[in-house]
Structure 1
């Protein structure tokens, strides 16, 4: 590979924009799958929406597994290219794809085994239980295609190619959007499949994205390629992928656990509350995963310049990325505050859901700007291989602080306490994140941090 990589020379703001906008759109599209499914499923009825909402912790965990492997591959490739080690970068490509396919198959089997007991722990309503099981048994088969196509997406992003991953992500979402109403309601001669139609549409969308991803990697010129000649399975690369990508898994998987525990609190009030939170979480994930797309654009820049020992550009990437993230989440807060009723009507919200959903939406969305700053600092820690700090920030945000606040505030002010818990947890986390950032600055030695 010849020439100078744009990640070490291009002015930072336009570089971040060019690197972040395509993955930002890709991540937005990634979670549009669930948003679209919920939108169409809500037209079947509130029980169908509740069933899909109960399934969301599992589908979130599935995506988290995919992002885990993908981000680990992404950081290793960007870091290797920063060190001008082309052979290692190519080896990471092949090892990463093999690992993603194997892990996808393992996860699929596990999900099929746990589906029935998982839903039985939440509801004794036979209709909701049956709908949830039918939906999840089909969705389980998206994991191999999800893991492989996200791995290839992150491979290309690690080289600075942000456009191609955006397009094969968009293609899958568009196919899902087209197939959802056709298969759910039985248009154009297709059978009326209900919630199973939503699941089949999602599997088809992911599979289509995976096929396009392989085509782009294999048949279009890229800065890395699959290593065939002299290739061997490298368990050290496997280990590094797991370790480096683990904070991203935690960040996304904690969303699954958070949803699981929140549903446990809300089911004590009503199934309508569970349905509302399922709808809200789809909205929140669009915002947070759009932010995560920005992060995935910044991580290769920070990883590359960390590998190259360029401290100035490393910190510039953090500064500009945080500013953009706060601006994006601030805009989403304005939209949610101005149009809460209209947004909830997308999910065919009942009067009961609207009565507590509108104030809940306003309270919870206010936390987004704090989440943006904390997430960017966690990604900075991850890019500079301080994985422990990155994990700590994400665990605080969605588990260690959130659950105690839920227990305490719901005890004193009822269901409203659950909504206020999100804002309280994000506020404390961002303060602690800045403390870690100031107290433990990056140090370099021969282009590598000593940890």
Structure 2
């Protein structure tokens, strides 16, 4: 095959990490902007509407995490195909993945639709809110197939080393959603006022636009969509198997996250409502650091995947080392910033004295451990990139189990402060164990580069 659009098996690794992670950061910000925009406009409808859309967040986030698993699998599969100079296999994988992703999106939407009447009451949603939530979810779920296809197509481009165009696709989605939200929610320009359902429709239409753009990028610019390659049944099945080998464990690993967040909220609730509010505020501020870390992890996957397939194992190891250094520098800077500015930043979200004090304590303790959390993520991204999704699942399960155990113990012995110390200690301990394991089991078995 021709050399990849951006050959990650050659050139300065630091430059590749910067280029990939910066573009990934913009893409993640754009995706978060969609949710933020919806919440901001819906909040203007009143407290009940804001509460109703808040009840939908656990469900929509779980489904979005499952879609992200398809993205991780595709980036890994295409990176390894690209590094091995197997363009036909890459095109076959993306072409099959687009079809399979769309079908999986339809299936997830159908299952979620059938479970709505049971799931939301089980989550404590008042019956009076269901007539507002159900129309919103029906429209939002219709967007899942489009979201799945665009995410899979975008991931194929990232696997080839192209990070800029996929980021533009995500920015397009955010822009379309921003333009349509006020029109459909409030009924501007003579259109009917749709309220919350208008926000869901705006998101659906934004996903349709994003899907078209992603398909154009993957097909016309990256030459990754060639449905004729699917005529070879055995090779198509092998391509899908390579994809699902990462998708399935990633889906389980990602699905754990919203459940873990719910359990942490239940744990901290023992310290009182002020503690719950403080944890909620601190978690939103933590999201700033998480965006940067996710962008870094997103750079590690295609880098390790391409170089692993090219048998340039020294570059795989060096990628992990460089990413760990970048992670450490960023996390230390963020922790120092939180130590100095935590109180005024929390004050932007809440002026309740107890909430302000507790959230400040949390943000002065937990960010110190982000070095460990980020290091675990770097190793997990490398495992995904090299096709070892089952190891990534084990790493994530270990991290979450350690986190919950230490959070329970910390809350029992020290209330909210103990809760924060427990989370910090868990992040560092889990990272230490994962790094030791990676050095002795994963990296120790990496053969010498040819």
TM-score by length of 2: 0.86
The Cα of 1:257 is off from its aligned counterpart by: 1.2
Structure 2: stretches of 5+ with no match in the other structure? none
Matching residue of 2:142: 141
1:50/1:278 contact within 8 Å kept: no
For residues 430 and 396 of structure 1, the distance between their equivalents in structure 2, rounded to whole angstroms, comes to 10
For residues 276 and 43 of structure 1, the distance between their equivalents in structure 2, rounded to whole angstroms, comes to 24
For residues 350 and 131 of structure 1, the distance between their equivalents in structure 2, rounded to whole angstroms, comes to 31
For residues 7 and 369 of structure 1, the distance between their equivalents in structure 2, rounded to whole angstroms, comes to 26
The structure 2 residue matched to 1:379, chosen from 361, 378, 381, is 381
Task: Confirm whether residue 231 of structure 1 aligns to residue 231 of structure 2.
Answer: yes
Matching residue of 2:11: 10
For residues 216 and 290 of structure 1, the distance between their equivalents in structure 2, rounded to whole angstroms, comes to 25
For residues 341 and 256 of structure 1, the distance between their equivalents in structure 2, rounded to whole angstroms, comes to 27
Q: Which has the higher helix share?
A: 2
1:341/1:354 contact within 8 Å kept: yes
Q: Per-residue displacement from partner, 1:67-99 (whole Å, max 9, x unpaired)?
A: 211221221112122222222111111111111
Matching residue of 1:367: 369
Give SS of 1:8's match: coil
For residues 134 and 431 of structure 1, the distance between their equivalents in structure 2, rounded to whole angstroms, comes to 47
Give SS of 1:148's match: helix
Matching residue of 1:204: 205
Matching residue of 1:423: 424
Shift in alpha-carbon separation, 1:323–1:196, aligned structure 2, 3 A? farther
What are the residue-to-residue correspondences of 1:36-435 with 2, within 5 Å?
A: 36-42=37-43, 48-123=49-124, 125-126=126-127, 133=134, 135-184=136-185, 191-218=192-219, 220-222=220-222, 224-228=224-228, 231-232=231-232, 234-265=236-267, 277=279, 280-340=282-342, 343-344=345-346, 353-354=355-356, 356-397=358-399, 399-435=400-436
2:113/2:138 contact within 8 Å kept: yes
For residues 191 and 341 of structure 1, the distance between their equivalents in structure 2, rounded to whole angstroms, comes to 43
Shift in alpha-carbon separation, 1:444–1:438, aligned structure 2, 3 A? closer
For residues 207 and 422 of structure 1, the distance between their equivalents in structure 2, rounded to whole angstroms, comes to 40
For residues 318 and 342 of structure 1, the distance between their equivalents in structure 2, rounded to whole angstroms, comes to 35
1:325/1:373 contact within 8 Å kept: yes
The Cα of 1:321 is off from its aligned counterpart by: 1.5
The Cα of 1:217 is off from its aligned counterpart by: 2.3
Equivalent residues, number: 446
Matching residue of 1:21: 22
Shift in alpha-carbon separation, 1:148–1:3, aligned structure 2, 3 A? closer
The Cα of 1:102 is off from its aligned counterpart by: 0.8
Give SS of 1:401's match: helix
Give SS of 1:6's match: coil
Q: Per-residue displacement from partner, 1:184-210 (whole Å, max 9, x unpaired)?
A: 455565555444444333333322211
Shift in alpha-carbon separation, 1:221–1:208, aligned structure 2, 3 A? closer
For residues 328 and 434 of structure 2, the distance between their equivalents in structure 1, rounded to whole angstroms, comes to 15
For residues 358 and 192 of structure 1, the distance between their equivalents in structure 2, rounded to whole angstroms, comes to 41
2:339/2:364 contact within 8 Å kept: yes
2:154/2:218 contact within 8 Å kept: no
Q: Per-residue displacement from partner, 1:103-151 (whole Å, max 9, x unpaired)?
A: 1011111222223332322326455666555544443233212211111
Q: Per-residue displacement from partner, 1:29-87 (whole Å, max 9, x unpaired)?
A: 22333334344445556665554444332222222211211221221112122222222
2:76/2:386 contact within 8 Å kept: no
For residues 67 and 186 of structure 2, the distance between their equivalents in structure 1, rounded to whole angstroms, comes to 30
Structure 1: stretches of 5+ with no match in the other structure? none
1:53/1:279 contact within 8 Å kept: no
Q: Per-residue displacement from partner, 1:2-53 (whole Å, max 9, x unpaired)?
A: 3476212211111221222212221232233333434444555666555444
For residues 344 and 390 of structure 1, the distance between their equivalents in structure 2, rounded to whole angstroms, comes to 34
Shift in alpha-carbon separation, 1:322–1:35, aligned structure 2, 3 A? farther
For residues 130 and 136 of structure 2, the distance between their equivalents in structure 1, rounded to whole angstroms, comes to 10
For residues 125 and 270 of structure 1, the distance between their equivalents in structure 2, rounded to whole angstroms, comes to 22
Give SS of 2:227's match: coil
1:272/1:353 contact within 8 Å kept: yes
2:27/2:166 contact within 8 Å kept: yes
Please, what is the CA RMSD of the aligned residues? 3.3
